Protein backbone atom coordinates (compact mmCIF):
# COMPACT_ATOMS: atom_id res chain seq x y z
CA UNK A 1 0.00 0.00 0.00
CA UNK A 2 1.46 3.35 -1.04
CA UNK A 3 2.03 6.11 1.51
CA UNK A 4 -0.68 8.78 1.53
CA UNK A 5 0.61 11.95 -0.10
CA UNK A 6 -1.01 15.36 0.36
CA UNK A 7 0.59 17.84 -2.07
CA UNK A 8 -0.56 20.87 -0.05
CA UNK A 9 1.18 19.47 3.03
CA UNK A 10 4.33 18.49 1.14
CA UNK A 11 4.58 22.07 -0.13
CA UNK A 12 4.95 23.49 3.40
CA UNK A 13 7.24 20.88 5.00
CA UNK A 14 10.22 22.72 6.45
CA UNK A 15 8.58 26.12 5.96
CA UNK A 16 8.53 28.18 9.20
CA UNK A 17 5.29 29.98 10.04
CA UNK A 18 6.42 33.06 11.99
CA UNK A 19 4.75 33.61 15.36
CA UNK A 20 5.24 36.52 17.79
CA UNK A 21 8.59 38.33 17.55
CA UNK A 22 11.04 35.43 17.31
CA UNK A 23 8.96 32.25 17.31
CA UNK A 24 7.73 29.89 14.61
CA UNK A 25 5.92 26.63 13.91
CA UNK A 26 7.06 24.25 11.18
CA UNK A 27 5.61 21.07 9.71
CA UNK A 28 8.30 18.38 9.89
CA UNK A 29 6.32 15.36 8.73
CA UNK A 30 2.83 13.91 8.58
CA UNK A 31 1.21 10.51 8.22
CA UNK A 32 -2.07 10.27 6.37
CA UNK A 33 -4.69 12.78 5.36
CA UNK A 34 -8.41 12.90 4.63
CA UNK A 35 -8.22 9.64 2.66
CA UNK A 36 -6.70 7.89 5.70
CA UNK A 37 -9.72 8.87 7.81
CA UNK A 38 -12.08 7.49 5.19
CA UNK A 39 -10.06 4.30 4.80
CA UNK A 40 -10.04 3.67 8.54
CA UNK A 41 -13.76 4.32 8.84
CA UNK A 42 -14.63 1.91 6.05
CA UNK A 43 -11.85 -0.51 7.10
CA UNK A 44 -11.51 -1.62 3.51
CA UNK A 45 -12.99 -0.46 0.24
CA UNK A 46 -12.30 -0.84 -3.42
CA UNK A 47 -10.34 1.95 -5.06
CA UNK A 48 -12.57 4.19 -7.13
CA UNK A 49 -15.83 2.82 -5.75
CA UNK A 50 -16.60 5.95 -3.78
CA UNK A 51 -16.98 9.51 -5.01
CA UNK A 52 -15.15 12.40 -3.44
CA UNK A 53 -18.48 13.76 -2.22
CA UNK A 54 -19.13 10.46 -0.46
CA UNK A 55 -15.77 10.70 1.32
CA UNK A 56 -16.48 14.26 2.43
CA UNK A 57 -19.92 13.26 3.66
CA UNK A 58 -18.45 10.39 5.66
CA UNK A 59 -15.81 12.60 7.31
CA UNK A 60 -18.46 15.15 8.24
CA UNK A 61 -20.68 12.36 9.62
CA UNK A 62 -17.82 11.06 11.76
CA UNK A 63 -17.11 14.53 13.16
CA UNK A 64 -20.78 15.31 13.70
CA UNK A 65 -21.41 12.13 15.66
CA UNK A 66 -18.18 12.05 17.65
CA UNK A 67 -16.58 9.01 16.02
CA UNK A 68 -13.01 9.96 16.86
CA UNK A 69 -10.95 6.85 16.15
CA UNK A 70 -10.64 7.35 12.36
CA UNK A 71 -9.15 10.81 12.98
CA UNK A 72 -6.45 9.18 15.09
CA UNK A 73 -5.11 7.54 11.92
CA UNK A 74 -3.62 10.89 10.87
CA UNK A 75 -0.50 12.18 12.66
CA UNK A 76 1.22 15.54 12.43
CA UNK A 77 4.77 16.27 13.57
CA UNK A 78 5.78 19.87 14.25
CA UNK A 79 8.92 21.73 15.22
CA UNK A 80 8.18 24.90 17.18
CA UNK A 81 9.99 27.69 18.97
CA UNK A 82 8.05 29.52 21.66
CA UNK A 83 8.47 31.38 24.97
CA UNK A 84 8.77 29.06 27.96
CA UNK A 85 5.48 30.29 29.44
CA UNK A 86 3.69 29.36 26.20
CA UNK A 87 5.32 25.93 26.26
CA UNK A 88 4.07 25.37 29.80
CA UNK A 89 0.51 26.01 28.65
CA UNK A 90 0.99 23.92 25.53
CA UNK A 91 2.42 20.94 27.41
CA UNK A 92 -0.79 20.61 29.41
CA UNK A 93 -2.16 18.84 26.32
CA UNK A 94 -0.79 15.50 27.41
CA UNK A 95 -1.85 13.47 24.37
CA UNK A 96 1.28 14.14 22.32
CA UNK A 97 4.89 13.03 22.03
CA UNK A 98 7.31 15.83 22.91
CA UNK A 99 11.07 16.22 22.79
CA UNK A 100 12.20 19.62 24.10
CA UNK A 101 15.52 21.42 23.80
CA UNK A 102 17.47 20.56 26.96
CA UNK A 103 18.74 23.47 29.04
CA UNK A 104 20.64 20.97 31.18
CA UNK A 105 22.73 19.94 28.19
CA UNK A 106 22.87 22.99 25.94
CA UNK A 107 23.51 26.68 26.41
CA UNK A 108 20.60 29.08 26.12
CA UNK A 109 20.59 31.67 23.34
CA UNK A 110 19.88 35.28 24.23
CA UNK A 111 16.43 35.05 22.71
CA UNK A 112 13.46 36.34 24.68
CA UNK A 113 9.95 37.62 24.04
CA UNK A 114 8.84 41.23 24.47
CA UNK A 115 5.18 41.76 23.48
CA UNK A 116 4.19 44.52 21.11
CA UNK A 117 2.53 47.54 22.75
CA UNK A 118 -0.91 46.67 21.36
CA UNK A 119 -0.76 43.27 23.08
CA UNK A 120 -0.14 44.66 26.56
CA UNK A 121 -3.41 45.10 28.45
CA UNK A 122 -4.75 45.47 31.98
CA UNK A 123 -5.78 42.63 34.25
CA UNK A 124 -9.30 41.47 33.40
CA UNK A 125 -11.92 42.15 36.07
CA UNK A 126 -14.13 39.27 34.95
CA UNK A 127 -11.45 36.68 34.19
CA UNK A 128 -8.75 36.17 36.80
CA UNK A 129 -6.42 34.56 34.29
CA UNK A 130 -6.98 36.98 31.43
CA UNK A 131 -6.35 40.53 30.32
CA UNK A 132 -8.53 43.22 28.81
CA UNK A 133 -8.73 46.99 28.66
CA UNK A 134 -6.24 49.70 27.85
CA UNK A 135 -3.29 50.77 29.96
CA UNK A 136 -1.67 54.21 29.91
CA UNK A 137 0.97 54.35 27.20
CA UNK A 138 3.56 55.31 29.81
CA UNK A 139 2.89 52.06 31.72
CA UNK A 140 3.08 50.02 28.51
CA UNK A 141 6.43 51.57 27.61
CA UNK A 142 7.71 51.10 31.16
CA UNK A 143 6.70 47.43 31.19
CA UNK A 144 8.37 46.70 27.86
CA UNK A 145 11.55 48.48 28.94
CA UNK A 146 11.70 46.67 32.29
CA UNK A 147 11.00 43.31 30.63
CA UNK A 148 13.82 43.82 28.13
CA UNK A 149 16.26 45.08 30.77
CA UNK A 150 15.37 42.27 33.17
CA UNK A 151 15.83 39.67 30.43
CA UNK A 152 19.21 41.05 29.36
CA UNK A 153 20.43 41.24 32.96
CA UNK A 154 19.24 37.69 33.67
CA UNK A 155 21.04 36.39 30.59
CA UNK A 156 24.25 38.21 31.54
CA UNK A 157 24.12 36.63 34.99
CA UNK A 158 23.37 33.23 33.47
CA UNK A 159 26.44 33.39 31.21
CA UNK A 160 28.59 34.75 34.05
CA UNK A 161 27.81 31.81 36.32
CA UNK A 162 28.05 29.21 33.56
CA UNK A 163 31.49 30.55 32.73
CA UNK A 164 32.38 30.36 36.43
CA UNK A 165 31.57 26.66 36.44
CA UNK A 166 28.00 26.50 37.75
CA UNK A 167 26.14 23.53 36.22
CA UNK A 168 23.82 24.50 33.39
CA UNK A 169 20.94 22.68 35.04
CA UNK A 170 21.22 25.13 37.96
CA UNK A 171 22.23 28.26 36.06
CA UNK A 172 19.07 28.07 33.97
CA UNK A 173 17.06 28.97 37.08
CA UNK A 174 18.22 32.55 36.55
CA UNK A 175 16.26 32.86 33.31
CA UNK A 176 12.67 34.22 33.19
CA UNK A 177 9.85 32.41 31.39
CA UNK A 178 9.83 34.82 28.42
CA UNK A 179 12.99 33.15 27.08
CA UNK A 180 12.42 30.93 24.06
CA UNK A 181 12.55 27.16 24.06
CA UNK A 182 11.91 24.76 21.19
CA UNK A 183 10.62 21.26 20.70
CA UNK A 184 9.34 18.55 18.42
CA UNK A 185 5.64 17.92 19.01
CA UNK A 186 3.73 15.04 17.42
CA UNK A 187 0.07 14.19 17.86
CA UNK A 188 -2.82 12.62 16.00
CA UNK A 189 -5.57 14.61 14.32
CA UNK A 190 -8.21 13.91 16.96
CA UNK A 191 -6.03 15.32 19.73
CA UNK A 192 -4.87 18.14 17.45
CA UNK A 193 -8.47 19.24 17.08
CA UNK A 194 -8.89 19.19 20.86
CA UNK A 195 -5.80 21.39 21.22
CA UNK A 196 -7.08 23.82 18.59
CA UNK A 197 -10.57 24.02 20.05
CA UNK A 198 -9.15 25.15 23.38
CA UNK A 199 -6.31 27.35 22.15
CA UNK A 200 -8.15 29.11 19.32
CA UNK A 201 -10.84 30.12 21.79
CA UNK A 202 -11.11 33.87 22.38
CA UNK A 203 -10.47 33.30 26.09
CA UNK A 204 -7.08 31.66 25.48
CA UNK A 205 -4.00 33.79 26.09
CA UNK A 206 -3.05 35.86 23.05
CA UNK A 207 0.40 34.30 22.71
CA UNK A 208 -0.78 30.69 22.55
CA UNK A 209 -3.67 31.73 20.32
CA UNK A 210 -1.05 33.03 17.90
CA UNK A 211 0.67 29.64 17.85
CA UNK A 212 -2.68 27.87 17.48
CA UNK A 213 -3.41 30.00 14.40
CA UNK A 214 -0.19 28.80 12.78
CA UNK A 215 -0.84 25.18 13.79
CA UNK A 216 -4.38 25.45 12.38
CA UNK A 217 -3.04 26.54 8.98
CA UNK A 218 -0.68 23.57 8.93
CA UNK A 219 -3.42 21.15 9.99
CA UNK A 220 -5.73 22.52 7.29
CA UNK A 221 -3.07 21.68 4.69
CA UNK A 222 -2.77 18.08 5.87
CA UNK A 223 -6.50 17.28 6.15
CA UNK A 224 -8.62 20.10 4.64
CA UNK A 225 -11.95 18.24 4.59
CA UNK A 226 -11.57 17.11 8.20
CA UNK A 227 -10.55 20.61 9.26
CA UNK A 228 -13.62 22.09 7.57
CA UNK A 229 -15.82 19.64 9.46
CA UNK A 230 -14.03 20.52 12.69
CA UNK A 231 -14.72 24.21 12.09
CA UNK A 232 -18.42 23.56 11.50
CA UNK A 233 -19.16 21.06 14.26
CA UNK A 234 -16.63 21.91 16.96
CA UNK A 235 -14.71 25.16 16.63
CA UNK A 236 -17.60 27.41 15.58
CA UNK A 237 -20.41 25.39 17.14
CA UNK A 238 -22.27 26.45 20.29
CA UNK A 239 -22.95 23.89 23.00
CA UNK A 240 -26.24 24.44 24.86
CA UNK A 241 -27.35 22.81 28.09
CA UNK A 242 -30.99 21.79 28.52
CA UNK A 243 -31.62 24.99 30.50
CA UNK A 244 -29.99 27.10 27.80
CA UNK A 245 -32.12 25.40 25.15
CA UNK A 246 -35.30 26.26 27.09
CA UNK A 247 -34.15 29.84 27.52
CA UNK A 248 -33.35 30.13 23.81
CA UNK A 249 -36.77 28.76 22.87
CA UNK A 250 -38.56 31.24 25.13
CA UNK A 251 -36.48 34.07 23.70
CA UNK A 252 -37.15 33.05 20.08
CA UNK A 253 -40.88 32.76 20.84
CA UNK A 254 -40.82 36.39 21.91
CA UNK A 255 -42.34 35.67 25.31
CA UNK A 256 -39.23 36.63 27.29
CA UNK A 257 -36.18 38.83 27.03
CA UNK A 258 -32.88 36.98 27.14
CA UNK A 259 -32.35 37.87 30.80
CA UNK A 260 -35.89 36.83 31.74
CA UNK A 261 -35.60 33.57 29.83
CA UNK A 262 -32.32 32.68 31.51
CA UNK A 263 -33.61 33.59 34.98
CA UNK A 264 -36.70 31.49 34.29
CA UNK A 265 -34.55 28.37 34.12
CA UNK A 266 -33.21 28.99 37.62
CA UNK A 267 -29.85 30.36 36.53
CA UNK A 268 -28.64 33.40 38.44
CA UNK A 269 -27.57 36.69 36.91
CA UNK A 270 -27.31 38.79 40.08
CA UNK A 271 -25.47 38.51 43.36
CA UNK A 272 -27.37 38.52 46.64
CA UNK A 273 -26.88 42.29 46.86
CA UNK A 274 -28.66 42.71 43.52
CA UNK A 275 -25.53 43.65 41.60
CA UNK A 276 -25.12 41.81 38.30
CA UNK A 277 -22.61 38.99 38.37
CA UNK A 278 -19.45 39.27 36.27
CA UNK A 279 -19.25 35.57 35.53
CA UNK A 280 -21.07 32.31 36.12
CA UNK A 281 -23.33 29.87 34.29
CA UNK A 282 -26.16 32.36 33.91
CA UNK A 283 -23.93 35.09 32.50
CA UNK A 284 -22.45 32.59 30.03
CA UNK A 285 -25.97 31.54 29.00
CA UNK A 286 -26.95 35.15 28.27
CA UNK A 287 -23.82 35.59 26.18
CA UNK A 288 -24.46 32.41 24.16
CA UNK A 289 -28.12 33.13 23.49
CA UNK A 290 -27.54 36.79 22.65
CA UNK A 291 -24.84 35.76 20.20
CA UNK A 292 -27.11 33.21 18.51
CA UNK A 293 -29.92 35.73 18.15
CA UNK A 294 -27.60 38.31 16.61
CA UNK A 295 -26.45 35.76 14.05
Q: So what's the pLDDT on residue 50?
A: 58
Task: Quote the pLDDT of residue 235.
Answer: 95
Residue 222, pLDDT > 80, answer: yes
Cβ distance 247 to 285 under 8 Å?
A: yes
**Higher per-residue pLDDT: 258 or 128:** 258
- Given a cut of 80, whether residue 214 has pLDDT beyond it is yes
Which residues does the annotation mark as catalytic? 199
Range with the poorest average pLDDT among 121-130, 168-177, 238-247:
121-130
pLDDT of 37 higher than 90: yes
pLDDT value at residue 59: 95
* Residue 269 near residue 262, CB atoms below 8 Å: yes
- Is the whole model's pTM more than 0.85, yes or no? yes
Burial category of 213 from C-beta neighbours within 10 Å (exposed 0-12, middle 13-18, buried 19 and up) = middle
Report the half-sphere exposure of 10 (CA within 13 A, side-chain side).
Answer: 6
Residue 45 above 80 pLDDT?
no
List the one residue out of 186, 184, 182 whose CA is nearest residue 30: 186
Write down the pLDDT at residue 49. 47
Q: Span 156-178, mean pLDDT?
A: 97
Convert the pLDDT of each residue in 71-110 to its tens digit: 999 999 999 999 999 999 999 988 899 999 998 889 999 9
Q: What is the pLDDT of residue 44?
A: 47
Q: What is the secondary structure of the chain as a DSSP string?
A: -PPP--HHHHTTBT-EEEETTTEEEEEEEEE--HHHHHHHHHSS--TTSS-HHHHHHHHHHHHHTT--GGGGG-EEEEEEEEEHHHHHHHTT--SSEEEEPPTTTSPPPS-B----GGG--PBPSS-TT-B-S---HHHHHHHHHHHHHHHHHHHHHHHHHHHTT--HHHHGGGS-TTBEEEEEEEEEHHHHHHHHHHHSSTTS-HHHHHHHHHHHHHHHHH-HHHHHHHIIIIIT-----HHHHHHHHHHHTTSS-HHHHHHHTT---B-TTSPBPSSSHHHHHHHHHHHHHH-
**What is the residue extent of each domain of the chain?**
7-102+178-235, 117-174, 242-294
pLDDT the model gives residue 160: 98
Which of the residue ranges 26-40, 79-93, 118-132, 194-208 would you say has the lowest mean pLDDT?
A: 118-132
Which carries the bigger pLDDT value, residue 290 or residue 151?
151
pLDDT band at residue 196, thresholds of 50, 70 and 90? Answer: very high
Across the chain, which distance is largest between two alpha carbons, in Å?
76
pLDDT at 79: 98
What is the pLDDT, as a whole number, of residue 285?
A: 94
204, 206, 211, 213 alpha-carbon torsion, rounded to 10°? 80
- Mean of the pLDDT values across residues 210-221? 98
Q: Which of 39-48, 150-159, 260-269 has the highest mean pLDDT?
A: 150-159
- Where residue 16 falls (left for φ over 0; alpha for ψ -120 to 50; beta otherwise) is beta
- Edge to edge, the sheet with strand 23-31 lists 16-19, 23-31, 75-83, 180-188, 97-100
| 7-102+178-235 classified as CATH 3.30.1360.170 | yes
Average pLDDT over residues 215-225: 98
Amino acid sequence: MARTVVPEADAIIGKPFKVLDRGFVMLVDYMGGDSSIVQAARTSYGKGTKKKSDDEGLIRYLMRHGHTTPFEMVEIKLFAKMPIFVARQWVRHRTASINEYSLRYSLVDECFYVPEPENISAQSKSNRQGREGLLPSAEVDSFRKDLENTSKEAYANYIKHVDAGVARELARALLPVNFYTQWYWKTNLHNMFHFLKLRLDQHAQFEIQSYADAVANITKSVAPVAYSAFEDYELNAVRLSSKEQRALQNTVNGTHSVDEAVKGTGLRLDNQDGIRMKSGEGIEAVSKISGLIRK
